[in-house]
Amino acid sequence: MSIFFHEQRYRTSEVMAQIRDFAVTICGAGALGANIAESLARSGFGKLKVIDRDRIEEHNLSTQPYYRSDIGAFKAKMLANSLYRALGVNAEAQSKELTSANAAQLLNGTFLVIDTFDNSVARQAVKDYCETAKLPCLHVGLGGDYGEVIWNELYRVPSPANDDVCDYPLARNLVTLTVAVACEVMITFVATQQRQNFTITLRDLAVKPFA
């Protein structure tokens, strides 16, 4: 029995085979990137690359899948180690800053790019490169009580104001909801080539009384 037994029952063997060999590069290993990487690995994606230059800080622990003992280590490396330990998935970790100069080298060989960077400069570099290289790219972002999952062709890089700061309001439930939507959009893309775009707020959670 595969560790993806339940997922396979839900998705079908054909889709599972597709996602296993589908190379995805995740730009950013923070609240969105790290949780997306974990979700994708646990859903059966077998070829993952993570790019993030940052190190783990104490305030990351509420929204990101790291441990207290990881504080001070590179996010990308710890994420790759933890995916390997948990699932045997050999993800590639690049603890580097992605710039327009090295985007081609870092994104080489990937079928899909997921952009979760926390600053507009890096997001712009990803957008520009993917546009030029005609590489499918999904941007996943958060702002206040709002999340979005937008494909490159519709995506607009936000203003650089308030970029790359760590002091902002962020609800874990909004993070996990956005991550779930993004991962579902990716699997739909791999299976059907359909590109869905979504905006998300916590109010989109429809909780209805059972009666």
Pick between residue 73 and residue 177 the one whose CB is nearest to another protein.
Answer: 73
Q: What is the rounded CA–CA span in Å between residue 66 and residue 140?
A: 20
* Interface residue with another protein, options 8, 42, 84, 196 (CB under 8 A): 84
Q: Does 109 bind another protein (CB under 8 A)?
A: no
Distance in Å, CB of 45 to another protein, minimum: 16
Q: Does 120 bind another protein (CB under 8 A)?
A: no
Q: Does 90 bind another protein (CB under 8 A)?
A: yes
* Interface residue with another protein, options 54, 55, 71, 81 (CB under 8 A): 81
Distance in Å, CB of 74 to another protein, minimum: 13
Label each residue of the chain as H, E or C. Answer: CCCCHHHHHHHCHHHHHHHHCCEEEEECCCHHHHHHHHHHHHHCCCEEEEECCCECCHHHCCCCCCCHHHCCCEHHHHHHHHHHHHHCCCCEEECCCCCCCCHHHHCCCCCEEEECCCCHHHHHHHHHHHHHHCCCEEEEEEECCEEEEEECCCCCCCCCCCCCCCCCCCCHHHHHHHHHHHHHHHHHHHHHCCCCCEEEEHHHCCCCCCC
Pick between residue 91 and residue 150 the one whose CB is nearest to another protein.
Answer: 91
Applying CB under 8 A, the site for another protein has a residue count of 7
Segment contacting another protein (CB under 8 A): 6-14, 80-88, 118-126, 173-181? 80-88
Q: Does 188 bind another protein (CB under 8 A)?
A: no
Q: Does 80 bind another protein (CB under 8 A)?
A: yes
Pick between residue 92 and residue 128 the one whose CB is nearest to another protein.
Answer: 92
Segment contacting another protein (CB under 8 A): 79-87, 95-103, 111-119, 124-132? 79-87
Q: Does 69 bind another protein (CB under 8 A)?
A: yes
Binding site for another protein (CB under 8 A): 69, 80-81, 84-85, 90, 93
